[in-house]
Chains A and B, each alone.
Chain A
Amino acid sequence: MSVFEHVALIVLLLSSVLCLYRIGRGPTAPDRTIAIDILGTLVVGFCCVMALVTGQEYYMNIAIAWALISFVGTLALAKYLEGRSYDA
């Protein structure tokens, strides 16, 4: 595992920590929903780098499935947000 791959994984983990901060702190529910969506996209990138690091192709299957499920979950949360009154 080269230095470049170490740096790539560490940068992606740092981005995920920033997203987790927004999920925990976020003043409104849509903030948290957006941050969860972004975290899913970051996990897809993480899986791709892991596929390069380990040379195992099946990590890409995980990435595709994760992208699909994250999209459906975010749309469900968006419909939930639209259907209620929320003052903040």
Chain B
Amino acid sequence: MPSLAYALIAVGLAFDLLGCVGLIRLPDVYNRAQAATKCVTLGTCMILAGVAVAGFAGSGWPLALKAILCAAFILLTSPVAAHAVVRGAYLSGVKLWPGSVEDAFAARADDIRAEHAADAAGRQGASCREET
């Protein structure tokens, strides 16, 4: 196993551990989500890159190919999942930490809530009309 693979895996492990410490230490769900998602995504991608380097250096090139595929997939999906969860958290009314200095999503969130309420009212009206 070449020393480049050892270095990549070691840095990736450090990122993973620090991301999980952020998940414990930070005060609200938005801070936790941004710390943990970014650190753990990058850390796991670096571990996968280290495995790919080790695979190319050894005889296992299918292992390297699968590692690269998995890294690309995690890099695409993990931020999307975290974004969806945090958006759902805000729209369901989880409060920001009192020490937060700016809330740029507040106006847009009101618009989205109004749209959801209109949709729900429309559905309810439609079902009432069907009943009568």
Q: Which residues of A approach B to under 8 Å, CB–CB?
A: 4, 7-8, 11-12, 14-16, 18-19, 21-22, 28-31, 33-35, 37-38, 41-42, 44-45, 48-49, 51-52, 55, 57, 60-61, 63-64, 67-68, 71, 74-75, 77-82, 84-88
Contacts and interface: CB of A to CB of B under 8 A. Distances in A.
Contact of B92 (A8, A16, A64, A84): A84
B40 A42 contact: yes
29 contacts: A7-B13, A14-B20, A15-B16, A15-B19, A28-B94, A30-B94, A31-B29, A31-B32, A38-B19, A38-B20, A42-B40, A44-B48, A45-B12, A48-B48, A49-B47, A51-B63, A55-B60, A64-B66, A64-B69, A64-B73, A67-B73, A67-B74, A78-B81, A81-B85, A81-B89, A81-B92, A82-B88, A86-B93, A87-B93
B60 A57 contact: yes
B17 interface: yes
Contact of A30 (B48, B63, B73, B89): B89
A77 to B, nearest CB: 7
Interface residues of B, number: 51
Counting chain B CB atoms within 10 Å of each CB, the highest count among A61, A78, A79 belongs to A78
B51 to A, nearest CB: 5
Interface of B: 1, 6, 9-10, 12-13, 16-17, 19-21, 23-24, 29, 32-33, 36-37, 40-41, 43-44, 47-48, 51, 54, 60, 62-63, 66-67, 69-70, 73-74, 77-78, 80-82, 84-89, 91-95
A30 B88 contact: yes
A1 to B, nearest CB: 12
B70 A60 contact: yes
